[in-house]
Amino acid sequence: MTRKKSSFWKTYWTRHFPILLLITAAVVGLEAIGLLTGPELWILDHALLPNRTPSPEIHLVEITEKDYAEWFGNTSPLKPEIILGLIDAIVARKPRVIGIDIDTRDWGPLESIPCSLANRQQILFPGVPEKKGGTEHAQESATVKVPTADHHDEVTSGLHCFIPAEGPTIIWAEIPKNDQEPLELGRVLGQDPEKVVRSMGLSPDETQTIIGIPRFPIDPDGVVRGYRGDFEIEGLGGRMNSLARAVAEQYSPALAVTKKEVLFNFAGKAGAENYPPTPAGFFLSSECIENKSFAERFANKCKDAGQPNLPYLINKIVLVSGAYSAARDLHETPIGEIAGVEMLAQAIDSDLHGGGIRLLPWPLSALLDLLASTLVVYLYFRMKSWPFYGFLLGWGIALVAVAMCFVLVRFKLAWLNVVPVVVGANLEQLWHHGAELRHAQRKK
């Protein structure tokens, strides 16, 4: 046994090691330029199928085709005063964080839009226990916010309605002008983002408390499989959180998962509505009933409004987005075509449950690839007298490698290039043993 091991390491392995090294380097190189994406992504897509329940803490509010027609007249950009009413109705139900995935680049001046919070009626939440000790009842509506901005600053006076100083955090989508980093920031709430940050008295490091970038990396085949926590930008501190990460950090300030690109840890079922949405029109109807100023301003739209059955949102995450066709916000993913707002929900859900699935760093992956291919070579060496069994064991290792890819994903790790490396090692050994067999036959 000792002699055989010695013979393997000193002669057999050292003779095949340069070839194994070349196979590993070739796989890493081909992977880098995208020539191996097909088989690897097939494995990955099947490994990424959902295996856990969606978080009940995330709720979607979608502007449907009907809402877009009835409330916005099939016109974009969406009217800010109606969006403000929608936010007001959501805020009244006391969520912890609201993420607004709406394009606000072309909004006009906001200072002409009146805040109507003071005219909101009290909302009661049945079944929610009261706080003792004479303090405010838990079932009451959200506290009315008093503008804290300087009334002489018209920009700030307009912004405080959309970025209130109290109550749930509201984070707006920042849509960059370009695709390559560093990203050039576009307008948000109709204004330059640096002006918005200055007007609200925030430092560049605090921008993630009011704005985030709703963008996801797209693979060469057009499928979205991963997400990032932040992006390099021009100005404002040099980096900005994604919209999903900004929402997750406000919901869970102690969040400590990586901001580097990771794969989705999908929740729910493929092809299913994993985060059931509520139409925005339901909240706007409730605003008509509960807010006198809003009802007077939009009397024609509110005249037939009834009290809808709205979801329980206390301390939850609410994501607001457009689900009408003009928004054109659909993405192809391993679990089917889903809307951008559900992509946000999946990214937030992933981060709140330990983060996404991390790809092994290429140096570690390459080292493990060499070890796996060495195991294949060793099996062929040991089974030299029984080549058929060596063949079965070698290709059995390839099947084990595929199974291992699926298992590692469950532990939030992805090691994909082991499969082509193991296949390459098997082919090399088949060629080597075939050459030896042909040489032996010629001697006869």
Pick from 49, 23, 40, 51: which is nearest to 414 by CA?
40
CA-based radius of gyration for the chain: 29
DSSP H helices in 97-227: 154-162, 193-199
Indicate the pLDDT class of residue 286, thresholds 50, 70 and 90.
very high
> What pLDDT does 438 receive?
72
Contact in structure between 297 and 53 (CB atoms under 8 Å): no
Q: Which residue has the higher pLDDT, 153 or 430?
A: 430
Pick from 373, 410, 170, 393: which is nearest to 266 by CA?
410
Strands 97-101, 317-322: pairing is parallel
77-81, 133-137, 162-166, range with greatest mean pLDDT:
77-81
- Domain locations in the chain as residue ranges: 2-48+358-443, 58-352
Indicate if the pLDDT at residue 154 is higher than 70.
Answer: no
Indicate the pLDDT class of residue 398, thresholds 50, 70 and 90.
confident
376-400 average pLDDT score: 80
Say what angle helices 418-443 and 14-32 make with each other, to 10 degrees: 140
Q: Measured at the alpha carbon of residue 172, what is the angle toward residues 170 and 177, in degrees to the nearest 5? A: 165
Q: Based on the number of CB atoms within 10 Å of its own CB, is 404 exposed (0-12), middle (13-18) or buried (19 or more)?
A: middle
Q: How far apart are CA 158 and CA 146, in angstroms?
A: 13
Give the side-chain half-sphere CA count within 13 A for 240: 31
Indicate if the pLDDT at residue 399 is higher than 90.
Answer: no
Residue 63 backbone class (left: φ over 0; alpha: ψ -120 to 50; beta: rest): beta
> What pLDDT does 39 receive?
60
- Percent residues over pLDDT 90 in the chain: 38
Range with lowest mean pLDDT among 107-121, 309-323, 340-354, 367-381: 107-121
> What pLDDT does 160 receive?
79
Sign of the CA dihedral running 192, 195, 200, 206: positive
Contact in structure between 377 and 16 (CB atoms under 8 Å): yes
Indicate if the pLDDT at residue 3 is higher than 60.
Answer: no
pLDDT in tens, 326-349: 887 888 998 888 899 999 999 999
Indicate if the pLDDT at residue 302 is higher than 60.
Answer: yes
Indicate if the pLDDT at residue 37 is higher than 50.
Answer: yes
Q: How far apart are CA 331 and CA 121, in angstroms?
A: 40
Whole-prediction pTM:
0.77
Classify 336 as helix, strand or coil: strand
Classify 416 as helix, strand or coil: coil
Query: Rounded mean pLDDT of the chain?
Result: 81
Indicate if the pLDDT at residue 130 is higher than 80.
Answer: no
94-115 average pLDDT score: 87
Indicate if the pLDDT at residue 220 is higher than 80.
Answer: no
> Which of the 8 DSSP states describes residue 208?
G
**CB under 8 A, 24+ apart: contacts of 126-131:** 128/314
Q: Measured at the alpha carbon of residue 298, what is the angle toward residues 293 and 303, in degrees to the nearest 5? A: 105
**CB under 8 A, 24+ apart: contacts of 144-148:** 144/117, 144/118, 144/120, 145/117, 147/115
205-209, 221-225, 279-283, range with greatest mean pLDDT:
279-283
Strands 230-232, 226-227: pairing is unpaired
> What pLDDT does 444 receive?
61
- Percent residues over pLDDT 70 in the chain: 83
Query: What stretch of H or E contains 100?
Result: strand 97-101
139-156 average pLDDT score: 40
